[in-house]
Amino acid sequence: MLLGVLIIISGFMEFLIDWFFSLPHEWLVFFSAMLPVIELRGAIPLAMGVWGMNVWQAYFWSVLGNFLISVFVLFALEKLSRFLMNRFQWIHQILSFLFKRTERLHTKKIEYWGAAALILFVAIPLPMTGAWSACFAAFVFRVPVRLALVYILTGLLISGVIVSLLSLGVIHFF
C-alpha cells in the first residue's frame, strides 16, 4: 500500500518537473524569481547563464516575477493576520506583542531612515535580503501596503541592475 502511494507521488512529481521544464524560458525565469530563496538574485544569472537570455529579458522577467509575488505576499499577510487575530486570541497576543516590541526598539531608526531603509534592504543583493524579507519587514513595521510596494519595486529595480552587472562581469565584489 505504502509502496503504491510512493510510486504515485513519484510519478506525479516527475510529471510536474517535466511540465515545468517544458515551459518557455521566460516563464521559468518568471517563476524562479518568485521563489523566496532564489528571487531575482538567482533568476537573472540563471536566465543569462543557463538559458542564454539577453540581459534585458533576464532583468524584465526577474523583476516582474519578484514584484508580482511581493504584491501577493503583502496583501496575503494583511488579510491573513487580520483573519487569524480575529479568530484566535493567542495569535492576537503574539502579533500585538511583536508590533509593540518592534515599535519600541526600532521606531527611531525607521523615522531616521524612512523609505530608504526598505529600498536599501531590497536593493543590496545579500543573503536574507530581498523582496520576500522586505514584505515581512513592511508588515511588522506597519508600512502601508501601497507605499511598501513602491519601496520594494524601487529596490528590485536597483537590485536587478546590480545583479545584471555582476552577471555580465562589469562589476566584481572581489
pLDDT, block means (10 residues), the chain with 174 residues? 72 76 89 93 94 96 97 93 88 86 77 83 89 89 90 97 94 72
Residue closest to 122 by CA, chosen among 114, 113, 112, 132: 132
What is the rounded CA–CA span in Å between residue 127 and residue 28? 22
* 65: its cell numbers: 516575477
Domain boundaries, the chain: 24-168
* pLDDT confidence of residue 1: 67
